[in-house]
A and B are shown apart, each in its own frame.
Chain A
Amino acid sequence: MDWRRFGFIALIILVLIGVVVMVGATQVSPTVIVVSMLATTISVATPLTLGALSGIYCERAGVVNIGIEGMMLASAFFGWFGAIYLNTILKVAPMPSLLLGVVAAILTGGLLGLLHAVLSVTYKVDQIIGGTVINILAIGITGFLNRQLFFEKGSIFGGEVPHAPGVLPRFHIPLLADLPLVGRVFEQQPIAVSAVVLVLVTHFVLFYTRWGLRTRAVGEHPRAADTVGINVARMRYANVIIGGLIAGLAGAYFTLESVPSFEPLMTNGRGFISLAAMIFGNWSPFGAWASALVFGAAQALQINLQFFREQIPPQWAFLQQAYIVGLVPYLLTMVILTGIIGKTTPPAADGQPYEK
């Protein structure tokens, strides 16, 4: 990850925050806006960060995973369903229900990761097709079950959308959250916090441990790894499953941390933007996180601007059009992926099945 790239990322984030400050300055103090933007950015970047980390585990091991979107969607649903089932039917208290819901989401992602590994490592199916299968499967299964379980008469919830156990509570990070002014940035929910922790963990694992060295080896030159006695298939299985588990956690964000409900297709392309963040971050955890924050800032812009809808000065009137602001994350994806800044290098054996 070169400094030019980080500089470019910081610049975009500053511009996005600057826009909100300019628009809202008449109403609210700039400090409050900046802090609020930062807090929102970190929070909404969570699924993107996790999705990108998921992609990093898979692709560093040589397996392209475009099924992250589907993994997130399925996990969002099953995490949600798990939490509600526990809370409503089994009468478990809301907090344990939510936490077990997160576990269910993670396991759902892990299972889909296993499916992807079986398809791409064992059966050497084209990895793009394998990922597409997962995406379509997730859309179909969540749409169908959502209708059947929640809206059909005679289903377990009796055709009524049950009351949700809420969302995961904010987490008061000691010391940091007590800081004056910026303390609010560090009051985050648990999945957002774990995403940041996982960035650090992944960096350490990839670049400082035996596991990481072997993972990168099978992603760069599987035959070389094989000749020194490393089991390529096993390394790829393990990493794709780990990637699935992390995508599962990203899925949990949508229904257990962000909003207490499930909507069909609610991941809304976030899995694909994650992959963009992974690529723009050059397959490195910190790079991916920084890129995810750019997309997060774009979304934070949209969310924060809503508060100042009325105050938007005439020359910025086009910002009142919600859909224009909503386009920003997607436009950024396109601009960034055209590679205007620096060349990225994927792992050399990325996407190639290993034949002995």
Chain B
Amino acid sequence: MTNDQMTHEMSLVLQTKGITKRFPGVLANDHVDFDLYKGEIHALLGENGAGKTTLMNIIYGLYRPDAGAIFLDGRPVDIRSSKDAIAHGIGMVHQHFMLIPVFTVAENIMLGSETVRGLMLDQRSVAARVRELSHQYGLDVDPDAYVRDLPVGVQQRVEIVKALYREADILILDEPTAVLTPQEVEDLFKVIRALADRGKSVIFITHKLKEVFAVADRITVMRDGRVVGTVRPQETNEAQLAAMMVGREVILKVEKGPAHPGEEVLRVENLHVFDDRGVETVRGVSFFVRAGEVLGIAGVQGNGQTELVEALTGLRQPHSGKVVMLEHDVTGKSPRSIIETGMAHIPEDRQRYGLVLPFPVTDNLVLCTYYLPPFARSGMLNHEAIDENSRELVRKFDVRTPSPYVPVSKLSGGNQQKVIVARELSRPIKLLIANQPTRGLDVGSIEYIHKVIVRMRDAGCGVLLVSAELDEIMALSDRIAVMYKGQIMDTLSADEATREQLGLLMAGVKEEQDAIAGQ
């Protein structure tokens, strides 16, 4: 549905006029006009906090607008609750899934719109309807499976079926790709196109530029609560959209000169690691990182990267093998003793492993050093030094926070990541391990984190970058190791590596040309 004429002939199903919503201290939506045609995939693009989700929550009845009106099929409607929205044929797939892990797929789907026979829930008719919908839209889900056992990509399909079960004609997908692997993203796009082809209208919220080109018919960009403009993908390009989102020119390409590798800072020899379920997820990994270079570890998520990084940082006991950090054998040592050898860690899940969310920014900034002078004096915390430290770091790393004393949970994702970066890089370090450092961040923050990583490299620090984003790996790394099923398939020089080559390695194919056809 990328044809202009077709879009014009289609009818307007949803329109908002002058939607305004004010939260204490923030104007989240400022006279937002937005429209959606039947059968259209309309991307809503903007940085975190641009007001995309607020607008959608208003359309879905979770918030009431302070001003403005919503029209469905040309008629003004008053949507007071999600119940009203559902009745009007609006379905929403939230960024954080609204699924109950201990319920089956069928139970999750019917919840709130149950069919009953007598007193009893009619599980069978629900399962039948779910199968029918699965078949119709190519959304493969098993109604009897428990949601907790399903991978994230399948859970998302359950959410989509849940909306379709309620006969939604308008589907809102809030950052649907944030949690998906590249393959799952491809599958999702197929589903979205299938939905649009069958006359459903889709609003696709994202902050990833590449995705809008892959799937959208039209793109509306929001910034600071306002609509900046609506464009068609064929009329624009990434740089222009990025500038619209951020309000200034953004350098999408990372500027970096050649690396000047020095001595070896980290050496990993034949490392084997088991995960919580006792499955061997790292199976004999060996590599090294030198000072002044970035080693990128590429790979689809879930191929052992998480356990590898946990073993390197002391969070998980390796089963066998050796980790040597600057001549010190740190295999299986405690995180603190590893940190003290000069290792910094930007963890994969910043909210769980990177921060103590209810603690203020000040305390989060000294989590690795609070026991050392000047922050501790004879066993007591020195709050003056801690406060002084945070004032300095907040300024230096440009952390946007109302005050250093607010709980770090109140900060946006990008600023939370800056707090971690500030803490980890303000120590004298020799090695930085960055695991998915830009996941879920907006364009501006990604640019910032990338710059920091290159700056650390140029300052003579070794960097181990683990990322599922191939673009990020290719932009930042000097050497690229590809991990597949717990092993390193190959290590390539970044100058020579091509996307195709890496893609094949990520899929487990090595030097086998005939397998390309299968991919």
Contact = CB atoms under 8 A, between A and B. Distances in A.
A and B: real partners?
Answer: yes
A224 B99 contact: yes
B114 interface: yes
B112 A228 contact: yes
A224 B98 contact: yes
A223 B92 CA distance: 13
B100 A224 contact: yes
A230 B103 CA distance: 16
Contacts of B113: 228-229
Given A223-B98, A224-B100, A217 B111 contact: yes
Interface in B276-316: none
For B60, B98, B107, the residue with the greatest tally of chain A CB atoms inside 10 Å of its CB is: B98
Interface in B100-144: 100-103, 107-108, 110-114, 116, 119-121
A306 interface: no
A229 B81 contact: yes
B83 to A, nearest CB: 3
Contact of A214 (B92, B111, B166): B111
B118 to A, nearest CB: 9
Given A221-B98, A224-B98, A227-B94, A209 B119 contact: yes
Question: Size range of the interface on A?
Answer: 10 to 19
A229 B98 contact: no
B243 to A, nearest CB: 35
B98 A228 contact: yes
Nearest to B162: A228
B112 A221 contact: no
B411 interface: no
Given A221-B99, A224-B99, A228-B98, A213 B83 contact: no
B120 A228 contact: no
Nearest to B62: A227
A230 B100 contact: no
Nearest to A345: B102
B98 A227 contact: yes
Contacts of B102: 216, 220, 348
Contacts of A217: 100, 103, 111
Nearest to A230: B112
A93 to B, nearest CB: 36
A210 B100 contact: no
B152 to A, nearest CB: 16
A230 B86 CA distance: 12
Interface string B71-88: 000000000011100100
Contacts of B94: 227
Contact of A208 (B100, B103, B110, B119): B119
A228 B111 contact: yes
A213 B114 contact: yes
A126 interface: no
Contacts of B107: 213
Given A209-B120, A210-B121, A225 B112 contact: yes
A229 B82 contact: yes
Interface string A318-356: 000000000000000000000000000000100000001
Nearest to B85: A229
B121 A230 contact: no
A287 to B, nearest CB: 15
Contact of A209 (B60, B98, B121, B166): B121
A227 B114 CA distance: 15
Nearest to B110: A213
A228 B114 contact: no
A220 B98 CA distance: 11
Nearest to B63: A356
A210 B110 CA distance: 10
Interface in A195-226: 208-210, 213-214, 216-217, 220-221, 223-226
B84 to A, nearest CB: 8
A230 B60 CA distance: 14
Nearest to A207: B121
A213 B111 contact: yes
A229 B103 CA distance: 18
Given A213-B103, A229-B86, 17 more contacts: A209-B116, A209-B120, A209-B121, A214-B111, A216-B100, A217-B100, A220-B101, A220-B103, A224-B108, A224-B111, A227-B62, A227-B92, A227-B98, A228-B82, A228-B111, A228-B113, A356-B62
Interface of B: 60, 62, 81-83, 86, 92, 94, 97-103, 107-108, 110-114, 116, 119-121, 162, 166
A-B pairs with the 10 shortest C-beta distances?
A: A228-B112, A229-B83, A224-B98, A210-B114, A220-B100, A221-B100, A227-B98, A229-B112, A208-B120, A227-B82
22 contacts: A209-B116, A209-B119, A209-B121, A210-B114, A210-B121, A213-B110, A213-B121, A216-B102, A217-B111, A220-B100, A220-B102, A220-B103, A224-B97, A224-B99, A224-B111, A227-B62, A227-B82, A227-B98, A228-B112, A228-B166, A229-B82, A229-B113
